[in-house]
Chain A
Amino acid sequence: MSEKLIEVKELKTQFNGKNGTVTAVDGVSFSVERGKTLGIVGESGCGKSVTSMSILRLIPAVSGKVAGGEVLFEGQDLLKKTEKEMRQIRGNEIAMIFQDSMTGLNPVMTIGKQLVETITAHSKTDKKTAWKRAEEMLAKVGIPSPAQRLKEFPHQLSGGMRQRVMIAMALSCNAKLLIADEPTTALDVTIQAQILELMNELKKTENTAIILITHDMGVVAEMADDVMVMYAGKEVEYADARGIFKNPLHPYTQGLLASIPRLDQEDDKELYTIKGSVPDLDEMPKGCRFCTRCPEAAERCWNEAPGLYERDGHKVRCFKYENSLENGGK
């Protein structure tokens, strides 16, 4: 059990909405081991990004707060840390890469300066060694002529290159956990392939744990060891990648997988569709949050929220499995 690098328990994040608070993440639990990748999938607004921001305590205090739960990183609760302690953890222990690499980098500082700044802020090194280390890092993430690139500004690099720099920055402090929030969504497929390969390599060589947040089922299938499917702020299914793709239990996961056009299949039949769209957070149905769109919704689903049922590590939040699986959560 000590293998778990990070364990999130019953995380709850709320935002101040126009009509009172809305709960963007509602009691989500998961854990990641060293050298493993957890994929968090879901559509926009399901709370997957908010989850990652909550772990690093990056939710702006004016707009919302983490209202409950625990985030145990190497056994210590990050939610109880002071802001000063958190600063040591961000970057040093847990690094994050964002979807848009241009906003993640300072446009008026050279790549080298930014890397050196990160390195010196987190370890006691002089500028010269830090610069050397920055050069090594760029070489490691596969940027050609790194010495030259260090002197350039972010706008002089392409999107794929910038994302590599972001990864280099995350690595320069030997972070144990890498949170990647849609790291390849803004990139072309051929560049995406390069970045995914790089991340997989790092997972192997550095034994880094990765939380990969994406809406792309293809990327998840390729990268993740475990997968958590989120819908409207709750995890609806949580299992290893094989379980999710080969034996999806929740109607939402099943629908999601069936509604993707696939390259490797004949496509003369119509695509499966999940009818309707995600309800607003302040108009959530009382019972199961998916009931408005679920083809199998029964009377009970509208009035009562299902718990998380579990068997052999495969968790699913649906009444269908109430009897066949044992109750694992609340």
Chain B
Amino acid sequence: MEQNNVLVDIQGLKKNFITAKTFTGKPLKTVHAVDNVNLRIYKGETLGVVGESGCGKSTFGRSILRLVEPTEGKIIYRGEDITSYGKEQMRQMRKQMQLIFQDPYASLNPRMTVLELIKAPLDAFHIGSNEEKIGRVRDIMELVGMPEKMMNRYPHEFSGGQRQRIVIARALVLNPDFVVCDEPVSALDVSVRAQVLNLIQELKRKKELTYLFISHDLSVVKYVSDRIAVMYLGRVMEVADKNELYNNPLHPYTQALLSAIPIPDVDCSMKRVVLSGDVPSPINPPSGCHFHTRCRYATERCRTECPALKTIGKGHQVACHLYEDKGSETT
């Protein structure tokens, strides 16, 4: 039952970037952007990924689509290992998997009209005649709430929110099943952000999509997601249902992250856990648990041994030695 519902199964995913080499070509400095991530994305759900800058969340999203080639690990999509696919096979797969980018100012070609931009994926896969293509563009524009008369305009004529609608329309015109949203609302103003968030939710219902939603903003992630994964320096620290994660955060990092978010209310007196120091560099991440340099509960063991992601309670996984005895290891 459960197996059938898994859309994407990510197993031991790693991505290293080599930033410096020796004279003989041996790697000298390696950034461990994604470090052994195991996650399952179920059909029809939104899995949120949160973390601070440099935690590897964007690289993670891109490596699932193989836009950056994973160093190690498997990505099983509908039961098939897509990491073994060739270039053309992977290209065909992209009809089913799409990406919505963060910056609607950088991701639209300024010399293409809205029609050309949204039609581009249809052209790339030679889908339908020209009239059919234009028909599909018209349909999708209506779906994302853009008037048809905007079709022949250029991106610079639109505001950030409108541009993001174009980016979303382009991603959805091929009717994908799985969409990676990489910080889709971070560049937008508060009032416009709400419009785009609602649109993303509405499209999910109408088109039965599965989302991987990446953001640094925990309140946004909580609003759109069903489950949330918290990342820190390339590793998943905690995965849980959104309400469970908010009401019962287990990992010390999640607790600090949650308490650090200012709530727009004057009566809210949340006890704040202020973390000391900065996020360490992913070039030389701390040994053992990556978080031990900033953790209040760090012990000797945390410095040497990396905790595995363990299931504690229903669907709640955490990677921390504190909860050692309470759970069983997952594969």
Interface residues in chain A, defined as those with a beta carbon under 8 Å from any beta carbon in chain B: 43-44, 158, 160-161, 188-194, 196-197, 215-222, 241-242, 245-246, 255-257, 259-264, 266-267, 270-275, 277-278, 293
Q: How far is the CA of A267 from the CA of B191 in the complex (A)?
A: 17
The reply to whether the CB of B65 lies closer than 8 angstroms to some CB of chain A is no
Q: How far is the CA of A245 from the CA of B263 in the complex (A)?
A: 11
| Interface mask (B162-197 → A, CB under 8 Å = 1, otherwise 0) | 100000000000000000000000000111111101
Q: How far is the CA of A224 from the CA of B223 in the complex (A)?
A: 26
A274 to B, closest residue via Cβ: B191
- What are 29 A-to-B residue pairs whose CB atoms are below 8 Å? A188-B52, A188-B53, A189-B260, A193-B275, A194-B274, A194-B275, A197-B274, A217-B264, A221-B263, A221-B268, A222-B262, A222-B263, A246-B266, A246-B267, A256-B190, A256-B191, A260-B264, A261-B194, A261-B222, A263-B263, A264-B263, A264-B268, A267-B222, A267-B223, A270-B198, A273-B195, A274-B191, A277-B159, A277-B161
Count how many chain B residues have C-beta atoms less than 8 Å from C-beta atoms of the other chain. 42
B202 to A, closest residue via Cβ: A270
| Cβ distance A292 to chain B, nearest Cβ, rounded Å | 12
Q: With A161-B278, A261-B197 in contact, is A218–B223 under 8 Å at CB?
A: no
The reply to whether the CB of B218 lies closer than 8 angstroms to some CB of chain A is yes
A190 touches B218 (CB 8 A): no
The reply to whether the CB of B216 lies closer than 8 angstroms to some CB of chain A is yes
B243 to A, closest residue via Cβ: A266
| Interface mask (B213-230 → A, CB under 8 Å = 1, otherwise 0) | 000101110110000000
9 further A-B contacts with Cβ under 8 Å, apart from A189-B261, A241-B266, are A43-B189, A194-B276, A218-B262, A221-B264, A261-B197, A261-B219, A266-B243, A273-B195, A277-B189
A192 touches B260 (CB 8 A): yes
B197 touches A271 (CB 8 A): yes
B220 touches A261 (CB 8 A): yes
Which of B258, B268, B278 is in CB contact (< 8 Å) with A160? B278
| Cβ distance A87 to chain B, nearest Cβ, rounded Å | 35
| Cβ distance A26 to chain B, nearest Cβ, rounded Å | 20
Residues of chain A with a CB closer than 8 A to B262's CB: 192, 196, 216, 218-219, 221-222
Residues of chain B with a CB closer than 8 A to A264's CB: 263, 265, 268
Residues of chain B with a CB closer than 8 A to A262's CB: 219, 263-264
Q: How far is the CA of A261 from the CA of B222 in the complex (A)?
A: 8
